[in-house]
Structure 1
Amino acid sequence: TKSAPNMELMKTGQFCAGLFSADQRWTRAKVIDIKDSEPKIELLFVDYGDVERVLSKDIRWLSEKTAAAPAQCIKCSLHGIQPLETELQWGSASAEAFAKIIKDVPLIAVTRTHYDDTCDVDLCLVSDPAISISDKLIQQGVVRSLFPVESGLAESKEEEEEGSEEEAYYSCS
């Protein structure tokens, strides 16, 4: 619709279109948090994975058909790595190193496991599937291994059958 939705009708979990601040384009989103005390509503932009708070005037309802289309982003975690022992969460050094490695580079994602709403994936370069992003981060000393990490894509026949390979393109802004 062309007008902003009535805030009283908006509920967590509903799909809508939100004006994404980075490019000022209307983008499909899901309402993830509403606070009566704040003028902004927290949205997950389902096709890109970004989360931001958006003014209600910058939100519109979606048609049922558009809202029903599958999300184009998938929540993932890198397989076999964890923050350094000195960090409880991912630090800026590991995030910056990851962004630098994958910036505008085509990747292959191989799903190792799936838990709750998250895929545990190995990321490798399309140009050289033997290069594991997790291995590169470990070598740079910005993360640590959960266990000895195999290089590249699935190496055993069993792992090849379990993993599902998807070509992924990531860009960091």
Structure 2
Amino acid sequence: MECGGAIDERRFYAAEQLARGSQTDVLVSHVDSPDGFYVQQLGYLTNMMDEMQRVYAAKNAACHALLNPRKGQVCVAQFSVDGKFYRAVIELLLPHALVDVYYIDYGNRERVALQAVKKIEDKFMVIPMQALKCRLADILPMEPRNGWQDAARRRLIEASDGKPLKMYVDGADATGHTVTLYECRPDADVSINALLAQLDCVRGVAPR
């Protein structure tokens, strides 16, 4: 990793595309809507995240300063909610030393001060991006032309927040994964898709 003014051309490895019919354990990391949310596979980030906090919390980390940021640059950014550092990509440079970043392991975006954005060390580039874009299978908005109501987004957040879930991949293409999510309870597995289908603003459709 350079400390000078050289242009940083590095890129994160792309997120894995899961095969149709595969199953994996996930956490839902960010929700925009039932057909636009992000999950992480369990077990990939813990050690790296611990080391990243140690490295970027150091008082003598002057070499990590990002002096000449540019759109598309890989970085580490300090999330405003919890103060921790996460892998990110700069999406937009703004006046007053502000930047828009995309957190590549979680799927969310944020506007932060440039001083909260740091150079990323090579050792934190090894693991591919972990945010997998998904949409729930077999459900649609009750009025598709009006899009998803916020009640559906909130219900998905409530049903998935902080819970390890089983994810079955019904299909995958360049835009993401079509999935069914299950909460594994002692008495039975509960389909998150079916929970949302019970809402007045959502209608279930027959599986293809």
TM superposition score normalised by structure 2: 0.62
Determine if the alignment matches structure 1 residue 30 to structure 2 residue 69: no
User: Does the 8 A contact of 1:16 with 1:67 survive in 2?
Assistant: no
User: What secondary structure is seen at the aligned counterpart in 2 of 1:22?
Assistant: coil
Aligned residues: 145
Give the equivalent residue in structure 2 for 1:110: 168
Residue 38 of structure 1: how far off its partner (Å): 5.4
Residue 21 of structure 1: how far off its partner (Å): 0.8
Give the equivalent residue in structure 1 for 2:191: 132
User: Does the 8 A contact of 2:77 with 2:117 survive in 1?
Assistant: yes
- Stretch of structure 1 that moved more, 50-59 or 38-47: 38-47
User: Does the 8 A contact of 2:71 with 2:92 survive in 1?
Assistant: yes
Give the equivalent residue in structure 2 for 1:169: none
Give the equivalent residue in structure 2 for 1:21: 80
User: Does the 8 A contact of 1:135 with 1:149 survive in 2?
Assistant: no
Give the equivalent residue in structure 2 for 1:142: 201
Give the equivalent residue in structure 1 for 2:134: 76
Residue 86 of structure 1: how far off its partner (Å): 6.5
Deviations 1:7-44 (A, max 9, x none): xx323332111010110111111122234x45321111
User: Does the 8 A contact of 1:108 with 1:123 survive in 2?
Assistant: yes
Q: Distance in 1 between matches of 2:178 and 2:93?
A: 29
Give the equivalent residue in structure 1 for 2:65: 4
Identical-residue share of aligned pairs (%)? 25
User: Does the 8 A contact of 2:66 with 2:117 survive in 1?
Assistant: yes
Deviations 1:136-155 (A, max 9, x none): 1111223223x2159xxxxx
Q: Distance in 1 between matches of 2:156 and 2:164?
A: 14
Distance 1:77 1:60, change over 3 A: same
Deviations 1:31-72 (A, max 9, x none): 22234x453211111222221011111100101231232122
Q: Distance in 2 between matches of 1:68 and 1:32?
A: 21
Q: Distance in 1 between matches of 2:72 and 2:179?
A: 26
Give the equivalent residue in structure 2 for 1:95: 153
Determine if the alignment matches structure 1 residue 122 to structure 2 residue 180: yes
> What residue identity is the alignment partner of 2:199?
Q
Which structure 2 segments of 5+ residues have no match?
1-60
Give the equivalent residue in structure 2 for 1:43: 101
Q: Distance in 1 between matches of 2:145 and 2:154?
A: 15
TM superposition score normalised by structure 1: 0.73
User: What secondary structure is seen at the aligned counterpart in 1 of 2:193?
Assistant: helix
Give the equivalent residue in structure 2 for 1:62: 120
- Stretch of structure 1 that moved more, 110-119 or 54-63: 110-119
Root mean square deviation, CA, Å: 2.2
Which structure 1 segments of 5+ residues have no match?
151-173
